[in-house]
Amino acid sequence: MEETRSLYGGTPVGLVPTLGFLHEGHVALLEAAREECGTVVMSVFVNPLQFNDAADLERYPRNLERDVELAREAGVDMVFAPATDQMYPLPVETVVSVPLLSERMEGPHRPGHFSGMATVVTKLLAGLRPDRAYFGKKDAQQLAIIRRLGIDLSLPTVIVPRPTIREVDGLALSSRNVFLSPAQREAALALSRGLMATADAAEGGERDVRALERLVWSMMDGAPGVDPEYAEMATLRDVAELEHLDRDSFLAVAARVGPVRLIDNVHFEVGRDGIVADRGIPLERPSVLYSQDPQSAEGDNDAARS
Ligand code: AMP
């Protein structure tokens, strides 16, 4: 634990922002916060501002009751689940955007997504004033943007990155995985398998970024039912292009599989002894995601509360 005292007195307050419909990826963030903080707050807010696709917002899986239960089991002290008009009492005029880091990868595919995300994260950090806030490396570009806005806006919260949690067979955990049929789930493994192949190649000495991108792209492109959108490497700090794998970076992919758009990545750290790939952490048993039918989830936070 880096700090024992909060900026505001007492023990540190840790925040884990989520869109809800929790899985073990979220729980791992809650557990890390529980280890390091005296008070743990989880926010659940399906932020309309960051959904560029109205249908995706409409059908995003929700179940606040179950989220609260899982949060309680993980030792969370407070769940902050505001209604949309509590979060945005007036039409939003002030937005946060980090254009340079939003230029590539998810940016062009999801117009408005990152400024919506950056705006709500800034509001959560400014409003709840946590000492530490926990985010998954699964959303690598998002994490880079959040780190940058924290620096640019002089926000005092320490941003804590945590590894990607994967299902037993390697598929990165995502709330949207519940919408995959068994055949689509099998096809979706092309993403993680492709990324693991690049991790092996990089650790084996491959430094040509284009070759690594081509490797994962070809594994996704060759999989029936997988429609790849991009396979790109970027520097960790600036999400900038690079030719040679000689800096801390990540290789991110996105693909459509059936009704779902999936993203995943591996991180590469340059150490004294060469490249070390962070492949994420696989679960040892099936995810809690599948113990709940998302169809039974009703409405949004507003509806769940009424
Ligand atoms: P979401 O509810 O999907 O917006 O995610 C909330 C937080 O959980 C974000 O910081 C995500 O990066 C993180 N997260 C989502 N999926 C995973 C995962 N599979 N492993 C680790 N963190 C994750």
**In the beta sheet, which residues pair with residue 235?**
249
Q: What span, in angstroms and rounded, lies between the C-alpha atoms of 69 and 304?
A: 14
Task: Give the distance (Å) from ligand 1 centre to CA of residue 148.
Answer: 18
Q: What span, in angstroms and rounded, lies between the C-alpha atoms of 249 and 53?
A: 29
Average pLDDT over residues 223-240: 98
Instruction: Provide the H-helix boundaries in 64-134.
Output: 64-73, 84-87, 99-102, 106-109, 113-128
Structure confidence at residue 300 (pLDDT) = 45
User: Per-residue pLDDT tens for 65-99?
Assistant: 999 999 999 999 999 999 999 999 999 999 999 99
- The separation between CA 269 and the C-alpha centre of its own chain, rounded to angstroms, equals 19
- 105 conformational bin, left if phi > 0, alpha if psi -120 to 50, beta if neither: left
25, amino acid identity: G
Structure confidence at residue 60 (pLDDT) = 94
Structure confidence at residue 5 (pLDDT) = 64
Task: Give the distance (Å) from ligand 1 centre to CA of residue 8.
Answer: 27
> Angle at the Cα of 106 (from 282 to 242), degrees rounded to 5?
85
> Angle at the Cα of 190 (from 187 to 192), degrees rounded to 5?
125
Strands 249-257 and 260-271: what pairing? antiparallel
Structure confidence at residue 11 (pLDDT) = 87
Average pLDDT over residues 158-182: 97
Confidence of residue 257 (pLDDT cuts 50, 70, 90): very high
Q: What is the pTM of this model?
A: 0.94
Structure confidence at residue 273 (pLDDT) = 86
Task: Give the distance (Å) from ligand 1 centre to CA of residue 189.
Answer: 18
Task: Give the distance (Å) from ligand 1 centre to CA of residue 257.
Answer: 19
What Cα–Cα distance (Å) separates residue 10 from each residue in 33, 41, 195? 16, 15, 43
Task: Output the residue whose Cα is nearest ligand 1's atom 19.
Answer: 173
Between 39 and 306, residue with greater pLDDT: 39
Q: What span, in angstroms and rounded, lies between the C-alpha atoms of 133 and 152?
A: 16
Q: What span, in angstroms and rounded, lies between the C-alpha atoms of 246 and 236?
A: 12
Structure confidence at residue 304 (pLDDT) = 42
Q: How high is the mean pLDDT of the chain?
A: 93
Strands 249-257 and 226-235: what pairing? antiparallel
What Cα–Cα distance (Å) separates residue 233 from each residue in 88, 169, 174, 229, 246? 35, 24, 21, 14, 12
User: Per-residue pLDDT tens for 106-160?
Assistant: 999 999 999 999 999 999 999 999 999 999 999 999 999 999 999 999 999 999 9
Structure confidence at residue 8 (pLDDT) = 61
Predicted confidence (pLDDT) at residue 298 exceeds the cutoff of 60 = no
- Measured from the CB, is residue 19 less than 6 Å from ligand 1? yes
- Measured from the CB, is residue 173 less than 6 Å from ligand 1? yes
Task: Give the distance (Å) from ligand 1 centre to CA of residue 180.
Answer: 18
Structure confidence at residue 293 (pLDDT) = 64
Decide: helix, strand or coil at residue 105. Answer: coil
Between 302 and 90, residue with greater pLDDT: 90
183, amino acid identity: A
Percent of the residues in the chain that have a pLDDT greater than 70, as a whole number: 92
Structure confidence at residue 281 (pLDDT) = 98
Task: Output the residue whose Cα is nearest ligand 1's atom 7.
Answer: 18
- Measured from the CB, is residue 62 less than 6 Å from ligand 1? no
- Measured from the CB, is residue 144 less than 6 Å from ligand 1? no
Q: What span, in angstroms and rounded, lies between the C-alpha atoms of 67 and 76?
A: 11
Task: Output the residue whose Cα is nearest ligand 1's atom 10.
Answer: 135
What Cα–Cα distance (Å) separates residue 39 from each residue in 8, 29, 112, 125? 12, 14, 33, 15
Confidence of residue 10 (pLDDT cuts 50, 70, 90): confident
**Sequence-ordered list of residues with C-beta below 8 angstroms from that of 214, at least 6 positions apart, any chain:** 231
- The separation between CA 277 and the C-alpha centre of its own chain, rounded to angstroms, equals 18
- Determine whether 244 is an active site residue: no
Query: Mutation test of ligand 1: which of 26, 143, 166 has the most ligand atoms closer than 8 Å to its C-beta?
Result: 26
- Measured from the CB, is residue 117 less than 6 Å from ligand 1? no
Predicted confidence (pLDDT) at residue 7 exceeds the cutoff of 70 = no
